[in-house]
Amino acid sequence: MERKKVRIETVKLDPSNPRSITKEKFDELKKSIKDFPEMEVVKPLIIADDFVIGGNMRLLAYKDLGYREVHVIDVTAWTQAKRDEFMIKDNTHFGSWNYDMLANEWDNLPLTEWGVAVWDTEVEELKEEAPPSFLRGINIDFIMDDYDVANELVGALKKSDTYIGAIVLEALRKGFK
């Protein structure tokens, strides 16, 4: 296993990644990265043959935040079976929170901001009213000369809360008619 820092455009999302993220959670992930950027160094992406097998959502967030380089651990030497096992186990959360301890010993910290899902009746009611919409990413390669312009345009569209997927689909449909 090799740990290294690489240009972000060399790392690709795994198209078979079975995880997805809501827009709300994706925004929380980006905020977490902005608030604590050192985590990118101590919690590198796990890659094999330049595809992420651990950290697909973080890669999307890093790209969205304009990162040019990321830390990775390259496990290309692993068998496909071991890669698949890692991808699933890396996304399985075996533990659970001790809510009494959180309420009594950790209550002075912004746990909700840090992604700890503490029970909130208003949040629970909202979840029941509207099903979440899921965000999945597709990696689109750009030559370096076009990357900055594309990234700027995508950023502007996201800020305007425009569904970029519809624009891409329409352009693809027109291109293949």
Chain mean pLDDT for the chain: 81
Better-scored residue on pLDDT, 141 or 43: 43
CB 49 within 8 A of CB 2: no
Structure tokens given for 84:
């698949």
In the chain, the percentage of residues whose pLDDT exceeds 90 is 33
Beta-strand ranges (E) seen in the chain are: 2-7, 21-22, 45-48, 51-54, 69-74, 134-135
pLDDT of residue 104: 78
Provide mean pLDDT across the span 100-118: 75
Q: What is the pLDDT of residue 10?
A: 95
Q: What is the pLDDT of residues 58-97, one digit of tens each?
A: 999 999 999 999 999 999 999 999 998 888 888 776 667 6
Domains of the chain: 2-94+134-139 (3.90.1530.10)
Model confidence pLDDT, tens digit, residues 130-166: 444 555 566 677 777 777 788 788 778 777 777 777 7
- Expressed in percent and rounded to 5, the helix, strand and coil fractions of the chain are 45, 15, 40
